[in-house]
Chains A and B, each alone.
Chain A
Amino acid sequence: MKKVMFQTIEGNSSGYLGLLGLLAAFILSGLGSAWEMEHNGHWITGMTNQVVWGTPHVFAVFLIVAASGALNIASIGSVFHKAMYKPLAPLSALLAIALLLGGLTVLVLDLGRPDRLIVAMTSYNFKSIFAWNIILYNGFLVIVAIYIWTMMDRPMNRYKDRVGFAAFVWRLILTTGTGSIFGFLVARQAYDAAIMAPMFIAMSFSFGLAIFLLVMMAAYQWTGRPLGDALLFRLKNLLGVFIAGVLFLVAIKHLTNLYATEHHGVESFILLDGGIYTFLFWGIQILLGSIIPLILLYHPALGKSRLNIAIAASLVILGGLAQMYVIIIGGQAYPLPLFPGHEIQSSFYDGVVAEYIPSFYEFMLGLSGIAVAMLIVTTAIKILKFLPTSLEDAVTDPHHKPEEV
């Protein structure tokens, strides 16, 4: 095995500067949208008193979930001692921080009073899973930052595995917390299930790895650094396992609900007659976001193509966003069961499926979260040595045998 060398990227090309400009434009339009929403009030968005969490939450929760998953690559190296993954650990940790900051930016800017962020940081109700999450997010940023320090600073190297282990445990707790935001909601039939936490953990594995794969492939392609098949194929096979894991938990969640008569209403809403939500579930989340990627990744011929691997990873991200949309917005669109066995009518939309049409502002705010994450990664790899100069098989694969000449 060759020694791994890390080097910053040059970052002077017009392509690099163009990318920075594009990301900055998205961020500016997101900030502009947030300003409009705060200035006018949330009535200008698609959100209402029925659907109180909208598209910004879809992006924010997706990014937060993906953030903890992006750290997995580093964990496989430091916790499970897989040599192949070790060169990827700094990028994995960087991406984790970047995605979390992107998600939190969206979450905070969508608050009714984002100016009171300091209140959220200083006034805690410890029975609230949301308050716990605030602590978990901040802790994650600190631990992963220290983790990066232990990886990059030679005297600190000896703490790397221990900090890596702490980060791994922390990220599992963090995603448990994110899933429990929904799992602990006893009032709504679409949530209120312990399976939300493990399902979110599986989702984080899948979304985080999909984003990691794309970022890694783009970075190595655009900087002309070598990226070997051994590593790439190992990662794409792992992505397939994670996709299957999510599918399993999604199936169990729905099957459990389908067994209980009281949940038949909400299940038929999502699975059969929920319009956009049913389409997003079967068409995007299951077919485009899970089945097709599984075929692309595991097909003996198709799975060898880098383009197909990139398409599969992109579809997983698209499917993940659709899954979040179905969970977050579909779960609210279905009416609360105030009086089971009754037809209900009121001026406050009781008993009817709530309408929700996402506004331009919400989309721009959500997309700006992705842009924040990507801008952090793009600038950080220019400033610090996150990327190995080469990820060719001779560097990453301990079993690599040089071709005989």
Chain B
Amino acid sequence: MSKQANKTDQYRRRFLSNAAAAATAAVVPGLMLFPVAEARSPTEAVSNKVRWGMLVDATKCVDGCNACVTACNNEHGLEGHNRPATDAQWIRLVHLKDKQTGKETKLPVMCQHCEHPPCVDVCPTGASFKRADGIVLVDRHICIGCRYCMMACPYKARSFVHETLTDQKPDSPRGKGTVEGCNLCVTRVDAGKLPACVEACQQEGEKALLFGDINDPDSMISKQAEKIASRQIREDLGLNTGVRYHGI
């Protein structure tokens, strides 16, 4: 083997290792943006050591983007019937205009996964409940469809299923005559994935949504929440929501 050939091999090795390092350096922070939880084994109980939450950066939520809403509708099979007053909406985009200053803001609103959820307080059967990890959801088996939770929710986060359902998503069963709302894509989260809206915002939007464990001081969401100011919607109610907003 000639000296020249050896040199070529060396260059090639060096190039490949540098390229690999560069690729790693480029990809890892990107991956870090997706603070995926370690998937829980199905036999392991949900623990209150974790509290799932979301940080919404309203300054990044841009006009014309609807990625989170579309992803949610697809994930949960929320079909519209062209009747907006009764069609289910688990997440919606809200446009605000400050009456005094005229400042405009756009942000997604969904179940705020309160620490003290009024919907859970008022539910007569216990169908509305909060998991140990902070996710608020509805047990469709014991919901009697009284809609008291919808009266009680300060965020208008719940929908009543007004229609007969067809072609449901196997991972997100719904029930005619029962109440439903954002469940933080609990099935995906349990499998170690991100909620559909967050994933869509990361991939198609402006990375306005960050999801993670707000109990873990080292999580991306906790670090970001430490850096930027964030608020709860209707802080006055003292519900300690799991969803926080920057820029409102």
B partners with A: yes
Q: Does B237 contact A (CB under 8 A)?
A: yes
> A111 interface residue, CB < 8 Å from B?
yes
Check: A25 CB closer than 8 A to any chain B CB.
no
User: Given that A43-B163, A339-B96, A347-B93 are known contacts, is A112 also in contact with B155, CB under 8 Å in the complex?
Assistant: no
- Measured between C-beta atoms, what is the minimum distance from B216 to chain A in Å? 29
CA distance A392 to B19 in the complex (A): 106
Chain B proximity mask over A179-212: 1 for CB below 8 Å, otherwise 0: 0010011111000000000000000000000000
Among B83, B122, B123, max chain A CB count under 10 A is at B122
Contact pick for A113, options B144, B164, B248, CB 8 Å:
B144
Known: A49-B85, A119-B125. A347 touches B100 (CB 8 A): no
Question: Hey, which chain B residues are within 8 Å of A332, CB to CB?
Answer: 151
Q: Are A52 and B233 in contact (CB under 8 A)?
A: no
A346 and B162 CA atoms in complex are apart in Å by 20
Query: Do A112 and B177 have beta carbons less than 8 Å apart?
Result: yes
Task: Determine whether B109 belongs to the interface, using a CB cutoff of 8 Å to chain A.
Answer: yes
Q: For residue B88, give the distance in angstroms from its CB to the closest CB of chain A.
A: 7
B118 is an interface residue with CB less than 8 A from chain A: yes
CB contact under 8 A between A112 and B178, given known A49-B160, A336-B154, A342-B97 = yes
- Of the residues B85, B100, B152, B177, contact of A185 by C-beta under 8 Å: B152
Question: What are the residues of chain B within 8 A of A113 when measuring CB–CB?
Answer: 143-145, 175, 177-178
Given contacts A52-B160, A111-B144, A113-B144, contact A341 B98 (CB under 8 A): yes
Tell whether A125 is near chain B: CB-to-CB under 8 Å.
Answer: yes
CA distance A350 to B162 in the complex (A): 19
Instruction: Name the A residues within 8 Å of B96 (CB-CB).
Output: 339, 342-344
B237 touches which one: A128, A186, A342 (CB < 8 A)? A186
Residues of B within 8 A of A354 (CB): 85
Name the residue of chain B whose CB is nearest to the CB of A187.
B154
Contact between A129 and B164, CB atoms less than 8 A apart? no
Min distance, Cβ A338 to any Cβ of chain B, angstroms? 6
Contact B151 A38 (CB under 8 A): no
Are A124 and B126 in contact (CB-based, < 8 A)? yes
Q: For the complex, what is the distance from the CA of A181 to the CA of B100, rounded to whole Å?
A: 36
> In the bound complex, do residue A187 and residue B153 qualify as a contact, i.e. CB atoms below 8 Å apart?
yes
- The answer to the question of B50 belonging to the interface, with a C-beta cut-off of 8 Å to chain A, is no
Shortest Cβ gap from A251 to chain B (Å): 25
* Contact count band on A: 35 or more
Residue A346 contacts which of B109, B152, B164, B176 (CB distance < 8 angstroms)? B109
Chain A: CB-nearest residue to B87: A49
- Chain A interface, >50% SS class: loop
Asked if A49 and B159 make an inter-chain contact with CB atoms under 8 angstroms apart, the answer reads yes
Establish whether residues A134 and B143, one from each chain, have CB atoms under 8 Å apart when the complex forms.
Answer: no
Specify which chain B residues have a CB less than 8 angstroms from the CB of A124 in the assembled complex.
Answer: 124-126
* B162 contact from A43, A187, A188, A344, Cβ within 8 A: A43
A346 to B107, CA, bound (A): 10
Q: How far is the CA of A49 from the CA of B162 in the complex (A)?
A: 9
Question: Are B164 and A41 interface neighbours, CB within 8 A?
Answer: yes
Cβ-based interface call for A120 (8 A): yes
Cβ–Cβ < 8 Å partners of A116 in chain B: 142-145
Tell whether, in the assembled complex, residue A40 and residue B151 are in contact, meaning their CB atoms are under 8 Å apart. Answer: no
- List the A side residues contacting B234 at CB < 8 Å: 337-338
Distance between Cα atoms of A129 and B161 in the complex (Å): 24
Say whether A343 contacts B99, CB under 8 Å: yes
Please give, as numbers and ranges, the residues of chain B lying within 8 Å of A117 by CB-CB distance.
Answer: 144
A339-B146 contact, Cβ under 8 Å, with A49-B88, A49-B159: no
A43: B residues at CB distance < 8 A: 81, 83, 86, 162-163
Residue of A nearest to B85 (CB): A48
Asked whether B118 lies within 8 Å of A112 as measured between CB atoms, the reply is no
Chain A nearest CB from B40 CB (Å) reads 26
Contacts of B147 in A (CB 8 A): 52-53, 112
Bitwise interface map of A from 318 to 353 toward B, beta carbon under 8 Å scored 1, else 0: 000000000000001000111101111111111000
Residue among A111, A339, A344 facing the most chain B CB atoms (10 A cut-off):
A339
**B84 at the binding interface (Cβ < 8 Å):** yes
Determine the chain B residues whose CB is within 8 A of the CB of A114 once the complex forms.
144
A161 is an interface residue with CB less than 8 A from chain B: no
At the interface, yes or no: B121 with Cβ under 8 Å from chain A?
A: yes
CA distance A347 to B145 in the complex (A): 23
A355 at the interface (CB under 8 A from B): yes
Judge whether A339 and B85 touch: CB under 8 Å.
no
CB A108 to nearest CB in B, in angstroms, measures 9
Among all A-B residue pairs, the 9 with the closest Cβ atoms: A112-B145, A112-B177, A187-B154, A130-B124, A43-B162, A48-B85, A52-B147, A131-B124, A125-B126
Ordered by A's residue number, 6 sampled pairs between the chains whose C-beta atoms are within 8 Å are: A42-B160, A120-B125, A128-B121, A134-B124, A349-B85, A350-B94
User: Which residues does A use to contact B, with CB under 8 Å?
Assistant: 38, 40-43, 47-50, 52-53, 111-114, 116-117, 119-120, 123-125, 127-131, 134, 181, 184-188, 332, 336-339, 341-350, 354-355
